[in-house]
Structure 1
Amino acid sequence: MRPVRFVSLGDSLTEGMGDPVGDGWRGWAALLADGLEPSVEFTNLAVSGAQTRDVMERQTPAALALKPDVVSVVIGVNDTLRRTFDIHAVAARLDEVYAAFRAQGAVLLTACLPDPGSMLGLPAALERPLARRQLAVNTVVHALSERYGAVHLHAAEGAWLRDRAMWSADRLHPGERGHRQLALRFHALLAKQGIATGAAPSAEPEFPPPTRSASLWWLATAGTAWVARRCTDLLPQLLTLAAAEVRHRVGGTSARLDLSAAHAVASALAALSVAEQADAA
């Protein structure tokens, strides 16, 4: 019997940022791979900074060629950090990716994620627009995960988000303990379905956490550069969104922004349903 093939797609979260091992990153997907079966072939195609377009155009073709038995697609946060954010485009790309893997018979793993603004502790006027975008992505992921029968992890809420021991110095990526928590939760979901038959990953870190000085040094060098690369084209628009947030709050019309975002999500999902019906006809 050949080994189980597990392929992971996504961005820096799945690449393993925050869980350093040797000269690279390990992360939740690698930890999960060890607990799927006694024999596993694991390939991590995730790349830091990736958006849904990168997953659809680059990572998915490479993954399909590997004919995975299990595939994880955890993506979307970087889309919310771009001025080009479009929930219709995000929904269409995820729909295409999920459909491709399910058509090949792979078990699909998905997750909803916390919004970066709240994790960074940004002021409300800056945090709310990012939260609204991440909520839109999560709503789409929820809906499409149900449509395609994915094994879906609710990772956007819970006590683990408030536990600093779970997070790395940048407050955007889990530390080793956090990555282990994600791997454990995915393993539990897969074990219920008889898919994960190996031992569950340990919840306890294998390595000591970075010292405070090491964390501050990382933030001052690589961490700052990481954030800057992803926010360069967002910042002017984010300031505009923040100004609109303040105006609506002062005018008592903040609910309009939430309703507008909810309408955009509903419209994006409805467009996919119409396209699916047209294909079926």
Structure 2
Amino acid sequence: MTITLRPGATVMFTGDSITDSQRLTSEDGLGSGYPLRVAGEWGLRHPDRPVTWLNSAIAGHKVRDLEPRWQTDVLDARPDVVSILVGVNDMGWHTLDPEGYVIPVEEFATGYDRLLAPLAAAGTELILVEPFLLPIHGVVEAGAGTARIGPEERERWRADLDPKIRAVRELARAYGARLLPADRMFTELATTTGPEYWAEDGVHPTPAGHAALAEAWLRLVT
């Protein structure tokens, strides 16, 4: 089933840098990524159903970073729909940062659950976007600097991320949320074009990657 966006509804996007997309320097506060593309395409298709679009994502945030600001940045806005994409910063690549550490999947899942519980209690519709990782090798940003990453590092990150993707899927089932299977989607897309076409560093989408996320997101709403 899809979510029906009624005239005057408020939709909140939140999460990390993929959703942030430099929203604070954008005129409408949506950034330059998939939230902007969703809002634009919705407006084109449904001029008779105006929607308020909000973005409270912050680059670099993990689940534990969302929790302290959840009331102010999300709940107080009383959104009708909340779309969450978080988890790649909870992955082991932040162990490249001296202050980083591996976040157990149990900690990730219970923290994520605490974000969803008050929204579900308020009757808010939920869209959970899987965190994703494409198999790019090369230089990536990590914590305070950069690192050159090869197949072994990617394999280790994948082993850390996969259980967290499964946790997001389980939470979507438990809360009756709509799931956007972004990891599977990008894996399939990359088989014909190569992963760099969708995310040059394996994490942050290219314009085509953001367009793919927006198109998949819009299939979840009517």
Are 2:67 and 1:39 equivalent residues in the alignment?
no
Counterpart of 1:150, as a letter, is: A
The residue aligned with 2:66 is 55
The residue aligned with 2:204 is 173
The residue aligned with 2:115 is 97
Are 2:47 and 1:29 equivalent residues in the alignment?
no
Quickly say closer, same or farther: Cα 1:51–1:124, change in 2 above 3 A: same
Are 2:101 and 1:83 equivalent residues in the alignment?
yes
The residue aligned with 1:130 is 157
The residue aligned with 2:169 is 142
Does the 8 Å contact 1:60/1:97 carry over to 2?
A: no
Residues in 1 aligned to 2:131 and 2:69: alpha-carbon distance in whole angstroms: 22
Counterpart of 1:86, as a letter, is: P
Does the 8 Å contact 2:19/2:57 carry over to 1?
A: yes
Quickly say closer, same or farther: Cα 1:13–1:120, change in 2 above 3 A: farther
Does the 8 Å contact 2:137/2:151 carry over to 1?
A: no
Cα offset for 1:164?
Answer: 3.2
Are 2:125 and 1:107 equivalent residues in the alignment?
yes
Are 2:76 and 1:65 equivalent residues in the alignment?
yes
TM-score of the aligned structures, taking structure 2 as reference length: 0.75
Does the 8 Å contact 2:137/2:150 carry over to 1?
A: no
Q: Deviations over 1:200-220 (max 9, x none)?
A: xxxxxxxxxxxxxxxxxxxxx
Residues in 2 aligned to 1:60 and 1:180: alpha-carbon distance in whole angstroms: 30
The residue aligned with 2:142 is none
Secondary structure class of the residue paired with 1:78: coil
Residues in 1 aligned to 2:136 and 2:115: alpha-carbon distance in whole angstroms: 28
Structure 2 spans left out of the alignment, 5+ residues? 1-5, 95-99, 139-148
Secondary structure class of the residue paired with 1:58: helix
Q: How many residues align?
A: 188
Question: Based on CA coordinates, which of the two structures has the bigger radius of gyration?
Answer: 1
Cα offset for 1:61?
Answer: 3.8
The residue aligned with 2:97 is none
Residues in 2 aligned to 1:97 and 1:189: alpha-carbon distance in whole angstroms: 21
Are 2:211 and 1:159 equivalent residues in the alignment?
no
Does the 8 Å contact 2:20/2:55 carry over to 1?
A: yes
Does the 8 Å contact 1:9/1:59 carry over to 2?
A: no
Does the 8 Å contact 1:29/1:183 carry over to 2?
A: yes
Structure 1 spans left out of the alignment, 5+ residues? 191-195, 197-281
Counterpart of 1:75, as a letter, is: V
Higher helix proportion: 1
Secondary structure class of the residue paired with 1:101: helix
Quickly say closer, same or farther: Cα 1:84–1:171, change in 2 above 3 A: closer
Counterpart of 1:119, as a letter, is: I
Q: Moved runs in structure 1, 4+ residues, more than 4 A?
A: none
Residues in 2 aligned to 1:94 and 1:105: alpha-carbon distance in whole angstroms: 17
What CA RMSD, in Å, does the superposition of the two structures yield over aligned residues? 2.7
Quickly say closer, same or farther: Cα 1:102–1:185, change in 2 above 3 A: same
Residues in 1 aligned to 2:131 and 2:166: alpha-carbon distance in whole angstroms: 11
What percent of counterpart residues are identical?
Answer: 25
